[in-house]
A and B are shown apart, each in its own frame.
Chain A
Amino acid sequence: GQSLEQPSEVTAVEGAIVQINCTYQTSGFYGLSWYQQHDGGAPTFLSYNALDGLEETGRFSSFLSRSDSYGYLLLQELQMKDSASYFCSTYNFNKFYFGSGTKLNVKP
């Protein structure tokens, strides 16, 4: 089957850097996406990695290592508004799979 593992919760202070990891077990892997979801809100797309390496978009970066079946989302210069849940996701054999989500708590 397909599975994506993420830590359930991470806490960090404002201004810090935090890394949210995602390890996956899947076949027919096409790439790893990341989504952000605030409480009561809709998930919003953050990034997509098809190839190994780092993709940077402003304060957010995402990394993928296909050989290690591992990726992470890096959030820099944390702000209070970054408090949300973050999901990694894959699309394999025409189906979408999501990790259980990591709740990020940003403290002042």
Chain B
Amino acid sequence: KAGVTQTPRYLIKTRGQQVTLSCSPISGHRSVSWYQQTPGQGLQFLFEYFSETQRNKGNFPGRFSGRQFSNSRSEMNVSTLELGDSALYLCASSLRGGGDTEAFFGQGTRLTVV
């Protein structure tokens, strides 16, 4: 079966702009979670969606937002981009979410803010 698909793979944006990233989970998976990965901070949890509802949220400013559609596809949006937002953004899908289920990660979107 197809894995988790993230688009686009690479993105260059200018400071102050906004960006939308997309994640298509594995068919049948209802949970999608998002992460930011940087060399300095490592993997940090952004938020988790389950059945179109944001279930959990990490410690990121309100500029970071997301949503999930009825087909479980998810998008995350970052507004008013800052240089520090340059990172690899990963999404992961799982059947029911939570920490005791296997999560499958996408290849990520590499965002560069200039």
Mask, A87-102, CB within 8 Å of B = 1, is 1011110111111110
Mask, B79-114, CB within 8 Å of A = 1, is 000000000001010000011101111111000000
Known: A42-B106, A42-B108, A94-B55. A30 touches B42 (CB 8 A): no
In the complex formed, the residue of B with least CB distance to A32 is: B99
Q: Assess whether A48 is in contact with B102, with CB atoms less than 8 Å apart.
A: yes
| B-side interface mostly | strand
Interface check B7, CB cutoff 8 A: no
User: Shortest CB–CB separation between residue A99 and chain B, in angstroms?
Assistant: 7
Contacts of A89 in B (CB 8 A): 43, 99
Chain A interface (Cβ < 8 Å from any Cβ of B)? 30-31, 33, 35, 41-45, 48, 50, 87, 89-92, 94-101
